């Protein structure tokens, strides 16, 4: 899919079809040529409303406001309505509102995210026919806003949306294809494609050297051996160091604490945190952000077998803490414990883990929302406001000292499950907190993406299946961080 910029008026641009966004039911804009037809159709220009007029080669879509997610949703609806058509080229005009750059980004993101489909395993491919999208900046030129801004906005939005779709592709891939070794190859591909990106892949021997007793135990029963994947993006003179840690359980059967059949389906998505961390790193490198970024991925399969780890086992994590296993289905936290220890050796300024960690988080905040946890209110606030801009939904879940006590074990330093059935998303995060060094407490954020990472039905501009949860929010957060720094530098100058 190629995006072109034109300063011509929308009506002068050649294309098979035009997308027209109707803002807040206003049918009196110059781009609306079929007001009467729309009125006949009772099209009111409400959010998510679509009117496809094939003879006029126009798709009208409603948006309640210029809110970025309204714009993303509207264009994604437009794409959906013509997905099966033979149209190759599309044109669309950019409204000049308070922030035209924001609108431009939202349009590009909405089109790319909305046009994704997963057909890797279908005999008949259903991919979208759209090849070129011409964006008219007729109003940009009138207002002399400068094309450079628009070009940059389009390029950035393309990166963010494409790496989100990359994450979806990895998560949707079936466990027999996307094994830990294959996930490592995907990471290696990113490093080969990009300057300044390196990939290290550690096998079981490496993990043994690193004394990752918890991570090793989880992967032990699988035929597909675990990998510790470490991607690094290092630009010249980085201004800060960000480390993203991803849960890469390529399949979660539950282990000996086997999941019931209906809960096992879709557990191929238990590698969503890993896919997100890889895409964030790729995005950061493509955006050429001035930060050193690391993605640490614990890739393994949680299976049953004669040498499987068991409830009652006591594991020794990389930091020396002993863990009583009471449920082998609470495996993500064991993998992350060792990966977080490894990550902290890099002395990060910011440490973020992404994981489909608990069903309890889905119970708490619903399918669509990421649970945000951590000690630093400031950091949580930052990431959540960037998430909102990105179109991702978040909710904060609070720590407290009483929940922390529920992880006590009578035989080891800590148990891998809480003694209560309540507050499971938080107790899982508090388990991880045991592996965060004091000096890093305020640098750490835990994102539980168990809900939004994989949903069986279409929602908004997301298709059924993987959504790439975590990718856009973290990339927006990194971008916002960059803005803050450059404003700070300007003030100092
Ligand atoms: N991968 C699951 C969490 C999950 C559940 C992700 C639903 C996506 C959708 C995790 O490993 C798990 O099984 N957690 C258990 C923890 C429990 C045993 C304390 C859970 O949530 O039930
Ligand atoms: Zn599990
Ligand atoms: Zn899991």
Domains of the chain, residue spans: 2-141, 165-490
The one catalytic residue in 8, 259, 321, 326 is 259
Residue 316 Cβ contacting ligand 1 at under 6 Å:
no
pLDDT at residue 126, rounded to an integer: 78
Element (H, E) at 231: strand 227-233
Instruction: Return d(Cα 64, Cα 26) in angstroms, integer.
Output: 10
Say what the pTM is: 0.98
**Would you say the CB of residue 302 lies under 6 angstroms from ligand 1?**
no
Place of tokens 């389009």: 154
Contact 204, 256 (CB under 8 A): no
pLDDT, position 318: 98
What is the topology classification, in CATH, of domain 2-141?
3.40.220
Burial of 241 (0-12, 13-18, 19+ CB in 10 A): middle
Find the angle CA(68)-CA(96)-CA(133) to the nearest 5 degrees.
Answer: 70
Q: Distance between CA 364 and CA 194 in Å, rounded? A: 39
Per annotation, catalytic residue among 105, 333, 380, 472: 333
CA 30 – CA 468 distance, rounded (Å): 36
- Looking at residue 143, its pLDDT comes to 60
pLDDT of res. 127: 77
Q: Is the CB of 270 under 6 A from ligand 1?
A: yes
Nearest to 103 by CA among 131, 146, 61, 69: 69
SS3 state of residue 268: helix
Q: Which atom of ligand 1 is nearest to the CA of 254?
A: 13
If you take atom 16 of ligand 1, which residue's CA is the nearest one? 330
* Ligand 1 atom closest to 331 (CA): 11
- The reply to whether 259 belongs to the active site is yes
Distance 452 CA to ligand 1 centre (A): 14
| Residue minimizing CA distance to atom 22 of ligand 1 | 359
Find residue 355's DSSP bridge partners.
448
Give the residue from 473, 277, 454, 462 showing the smallest Cα distance to 392: 473
**Equal CATH topology for 2-141 and 165-490:** no
329 pocket-lining for ligand 1 (C-beta < 6 Å): yes
d(CA 169, CA 167): 5
Residue 252 alpha carbon, nearest atom of ligand 1:
1
**Distance, CA 299 to ligand 2 centroid (Å)?**
14
Q: Given ligand 1 and candidates 273, 358, 360, which is best to mutate, with the most ligand atoms within 8 Å of its CB? A: 358
Q: If you measure from the C-alpha of residue 46 to the centroid of ligand 3, how many angstroms do you get, rounded to a whole number?
A: 39
Which residue out of 259, 265, 330, 331 has the highest number of ligand 1 atoms within 8 Å of its CB and is therefore the one to mutate? 330
Q: Which option is the CATH number for 165-490: 3.40.640.10, 3.30.920.30, 3.40.190.10, 3.40.630.10?
A: 3.40.630.10
33 as an active site residue: the answer is no
Residues 378, 380, 382, 384: is their CA dihedral positive or negative? negative
| Cβ 293 under 6 angstroms from ligand 1 | no
Q: Ligand 1 pocket, 330 CB below 6 A?
A: yes
Evaluate: CB of 417 within 6 angstroms of ligand 1.
yes
- Give me the tens of pLDDT residue by residue for the chain, a chain 493 residues long: 999 999 899 999 999 999 999 999 999 999 999 999 999 999 999 998 999 999 999 999 999 999 999 999 999 999 999 988 999 999 999 987 767 888 999 999 999 999 999 999 999 887 789 999 999 988 775 566 668 888 999 999 999 999 999 999 999 999 999 999 999 999 999 999 999 999 999 999 999 999 999 999 999 999 999 999 999 999 999 999 999 999 999 999 999 999 999 999 999 999 999 999 999 999 999 999 999 999 999 999 999 999 999 999 999 999 999 999 999 999 999 999 999 999 999 999 999 999 999 999 999 999 999 999 999 999 999 999 999 999 999 999 999 999 999 999 999 999 999 999 999 999 999 999 999 999 999 999 999 999 999 999 999 999 999 999 999 999 999 999 999 998 888 888 7
The closest ligand to the CA of 450 turns out to be 1
């Amino acid at each position: 899919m190629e995006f072109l910029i034109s300063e011509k008026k929308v009506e002068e641009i050649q294309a098979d079809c035009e997308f027209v966004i109707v803002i807040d039911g206003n049918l009196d804009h110059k781009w609306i040529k079929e007001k009467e037809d729309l009125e006949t159709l009772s099209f009111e220009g409400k959010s998510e409303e679509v009117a496809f007029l094939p003879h006029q080669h126009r798709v009208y879509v409603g948006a309640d406001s210029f809110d970025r997610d309204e714009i993303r949703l509207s264009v994604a609806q437009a794409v959906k309505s013509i997905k099966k058509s033979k149209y190759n080229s599309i044109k669309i005009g950019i409204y000049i509102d308070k922030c035209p750059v924001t609108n431009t980004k939202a349009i590009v993101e909405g089109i790319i995210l909305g046009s994704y489909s997963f057909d890797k395993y279908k005999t008949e491919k259903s991919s979208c026919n759209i090849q070129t999208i011409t964006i008219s900046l007729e109003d940009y030129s009138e207002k002399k806003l400068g094309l450079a801004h628009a070009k940059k906005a389009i390029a950035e939005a393309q990166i963010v949306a494409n790496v989100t779709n990359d994450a979806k592709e990895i998560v949707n891939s079936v466990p027999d294809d996307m094994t830990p070794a294959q996930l490592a190859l995907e990471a290696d591909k990113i490093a080969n494609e990009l300057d300044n990106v390196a990939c290290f892949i550690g096998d079981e021997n490496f993990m043994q050297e690193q004394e990752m007793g918890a991570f090793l135990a989880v992967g032990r029963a699988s035929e597909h051996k675990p990998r510790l994947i470490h991607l690094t993006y290092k630009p010249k003179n980085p201004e800060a160091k960000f480390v993203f840690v991803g849960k890469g359980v390529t399949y979660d059967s539950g282990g000996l604490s086997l999941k019931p059949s209906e809960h096992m389906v879709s557990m191929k998505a238990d590698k969503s945190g890993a896919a997100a961390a890889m895409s964030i790193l790729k995005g950061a490198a493509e955006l050429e952000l001035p930060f050193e970024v690391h993605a640490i991925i614990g890739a393994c399969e949680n299976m049953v077998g004669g040498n499987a780890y068991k409830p009652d086992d006591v594991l020794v994590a990389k930091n020396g803490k002993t863990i009583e296993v009471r449920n082998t289905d609470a495996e993500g936290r064991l993998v992350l414990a060792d990966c977080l220890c490894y990550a902290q050796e890099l002395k990060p300024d910011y440490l973020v883990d992404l994981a489909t960690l608990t069903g309890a988080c889905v119970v708490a905040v619903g399918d669509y929302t990421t649970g945000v946890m951590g000690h630093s209110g400031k950091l949580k606030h930052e990431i959540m406001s960037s998430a909102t801009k990105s179109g991702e939904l978040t909710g904060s879940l609070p720590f407290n000292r009483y929940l922390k006590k529920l992880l006590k074990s009578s035989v080891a330093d800590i148990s891998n499950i809480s003694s209560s059935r309540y507050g499971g998303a938080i107790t899982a995060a508090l388990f991880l907190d045991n592996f965060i060094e004091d000096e890093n407490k305020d640098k750490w954020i835990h994102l539980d993406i168990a809900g939004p990472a994989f949903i069986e039905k279409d929602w908004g501009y997301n298709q059924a299946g993987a959504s790439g949860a975590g990718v856009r929010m973290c990339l927006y957060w990194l971008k916002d961080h960059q803005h803050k720094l450059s404003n700070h530098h300007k003030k100092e100058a």
